[in-house]
Structure 1
């Protein structure tokens, strides 16, 4: 097999779910010794292969992402005789001209389900491109049965042409000595106290308000000081989180360390007393699985794909009931043995997932697509 893969997500979106998926999938495919060629494409060094001697053709287009998609990529797919082309980032960037069978990975349909939580530019692109993506894709990979249900319901795409292939925590997420984590976090981030952790962005869909409200409820009831730590790049506008934190009277207990590189995230996960994921909707939900791979006791919203992925490895709460979350936080913070058992259950669940398995199942999808099954 000669397989082309759009690698832009691995370069541009590293640290996001799509970026992690694209990076790890390509990495694992490259490790396989199955006789196939897995060729990543991205608009960078690739331009060195352009034939600039055809000045008329070259000068009439803009060198950039659109040019790469509409001219360079279709030409390369034809020249190198690919059996299949795979676009991992929700199909966005699928070639305008189809040169071979095409597979796309649709992680979720959040723009259709929670359009108010998506940027206007991406929303417009998604609504414009997705009907064409559905029409021109020979097969779809998605990351959960929940997302598969959404795809079949919203677009009436044939269920038999959708393969559910789970994602996985990256190998860097593993149990670490808490004392080691606290040492690094103290030196680099001035974080030395016990803390509850959330990772996953600040979109309204992530339901941070519920977490802040529940934390405010229990923070003054816990005998020892406890903090809430939320890494990630926080949007400047609207600054509703800061206003809510001030209104709840917890400004001195909530920490925003800002962007944290992937190499440091395992220390945040493994050093936490608890990890909480209150999101209303996820196509898969990598952060809680990453926390569980680190052995961190994890609490998650009983919503969308999360129960399917996390199963009994997490403690569950209603994403619309802050009191239920507050009671769960208080219980696990004050019952060390129960917290320890929850962490062990989560670690066991996380071991069911691996990127090597993801790559193996993806190759099966490639084979079915090429054979016309």
Structure 2
């Protein structure tokens, strides 16, 4: 059997890209000897990132060859059904021509919604348009309705649906009526680029950004739901509580439309001098930025799972996390209400106690091992599902 893995996101999306890369490496590891696994990407720059991890990949131009006029028309209609269907048809035909028996989408993708022949496995990272529908990135400009159409169309037709937690699995079963036996709860794992082999020395990285050890680190894109404002409010409170003007928070991540607002709020709260905005940083800088942190803070509303907690534990840094997302992390974090800046300030003050930090680091290591065990069980389940499909695929030409 030949399985084509589709990577359609650029590296700038952050955690979603890293998890997609993990999924590609994982599939080649768990089933690559029994079946042929071929990685495809619609983004040419991804080829070099996959190559660094020893993953050969093929570039799959989404549009193929088009006249200038046809391309202009398509760009104007890209958000319309006709544009999406046209793109998906091109991708499906390319996979079929390459002899693929099964497609595997490792990120949220509407492409399989329009497949006519090829069976597929898909991935769901969250249902936050339902869980936190107040946020514009999942509700405005038709995004809520678009997501609903996608999940209602894509999930029931999938050979398998991979999700990051049992909590998300249960929500999908209830909301979209997907057969539970077709779903697999596959936990996240830290970015493959976080290893020492793919990282630059901490001293050099911190010097590049003008940083010293001992900051609070929040790696996240600037979306409203990432809740950077709560960290700014907490820093403002900490400055008043401790009379310490040297408190520093470091934000890394690309601008997804909310950066100007956060900078404006930092100015209003009088904490601009306490905040370093790094923007999107190279993947080989991330380990050093984690290592230099006093603690990792993540005040996000979206879940139920996220990548930075696992990466904090992998590097050995203590974590402060949104309380409503506690299922992923067990007791391996200090928790604060995502709505309450004072709770964040108190947790950020408490984690300065070396005994508290050391205890959290040790609990993080244990939690990471428990998640590794859970992932191994999920991999066995995934292999079984793929082998089941392989036997059924023999029934037709």
TM range (shorter): 0.7 to 0.9
Paired residue for 1:146, among 153, 163, 167?
A: 167
Q: TM-score, normalised by structure 1?
A: 0.82
Flag the 1:279–1:8 CA change in 2: closer, same or farther, 3 A: same
**Which whole-Å CA distance do the structure 2 matches of 1:255 and 1:51 have between them?**
42
Flag the 1:362–1:316 CA change in 2: closer, same or farther, 3 A: same
Partner of 2:41: 42
**Which whole-Å CA distance do the structure 1 matches of 2:313 and 2:64 have between them?**
50
Flag the 1:296–1:112 CA change in 2: closer, same or farther, 3 A: same
**Which whole-Å CA distance do the structure 1 matches of 2:187 and 2:126 have between them?**
13
Gaps of 5+ in 2: 45-57, 393-397
Q: TM-score, normalised by structure 2?
A: 0.78
Flag the 1:351–1:214 CA change in 2: closer, same or farther, 3 A: same
Flag the 1:47–1:282 CA change in 2: closer, same or farther, 3 A: closer
**Which whole-Å CA distance do the structure 1 matches of 2:323 and 2:269 have between them?**
25
Flag the 1:5–1:238 CA change in 2: closer, same or farther, 3 A: closer
Paired residue for 1:285, among 291, 298, 306?
A: 306
Q: Secondary structure of 2:114's partner?
A: coil
Q: CA deviation at 1:37?
A: 0.6
Report if the CA contact (8 A) 1:302-1:319 is conserved: yes
Q: Secondary structure of 2:297's partner?
A: strand
Partner of 1:26: 24
Q: Secondary structure of 1:160's partner?
A: helix
Partner of 2:117: 99
Partner of 2:130: 112
Residues 3-38 of structure 1 show CA distances to partners (whole Å, capped at 9, x for unaligned) of 1221223xx245523211221221233345522111
Alignment of 1:62-211 (within 5 A): 69-94=87-112, 96-115=114-133, 116-118=135-137, 120=141, 123=144, 125-173=146-194, 181=202, 183-192=203-212, 194-211=214-231
Task: State whether structure 2 residue 11 is matched by structure 1 residue 7.
Answer: no
Report if the CA contact (8 A) 1:90-1:105 is conserved: yes
Instruction: Please provide the CA RMSD for this pair.
Output: 3.4
Partner of 2:386: 366
Residues 225-265 of structure 1 show CA distances to partners (whole Å, capped at 9, x for unaligned) of 22011111235557321232122211111111111111101
Higher RCO (C-alpha 8 Å, min separation 6): 1
Flag the 1:175–1:271 CA change in 2: closer, same or farther, 3 A: farther
Residues 171-230 of structure 1 show CA distances to partners (whole Å, capped at 9, x for unaligned) of 443699xxx63x224421011253111112222222222221112111340658220111
Partner of 2:340: 321
Partner of 1:214: 234
Task: State whether structure 2 residue 265 is matched by structure 1 residue 244.
Answer: yes
Report if the CA contact (8 A) 1:143-1:165 is conserved: yes
Flag the 1:245–1:75 CA change in 2: closer, same or farther, 3 A: closer
Q: Secondary structure of 2:175's partner?
A: helix
**Which whole-Å CA distance do the structure 2 matches of 1:193 and 1:117 have between them?**
35
Determine which structure has the larger helix proportion and give its number. Answer: 2
Report if the CA contact (8 A) 1:228-1:255 is conserved: yes
**Which whole-Å CA distance do the structure 2 matches of 1:342 and 1:77 have between them?**
46
Q: CA deviation at 1:360?
A: 5.3
Report if the CA contact (8 A) 1:200-1:206 is conserved: yes
Report if the CA contact (8 A) 1:216-1:249 is conserved: yes
* Number of aligned residues: 357
Residues 42-97 of structure 1 show CA distances to partners (whole Å, capped at 9, x for unaligned) of 3466569x999xx9xx99x9799858744443334444554322222224211623
Flag the 1:78–1:231 CA change in 2: closer, same or farther, 3 A: closer
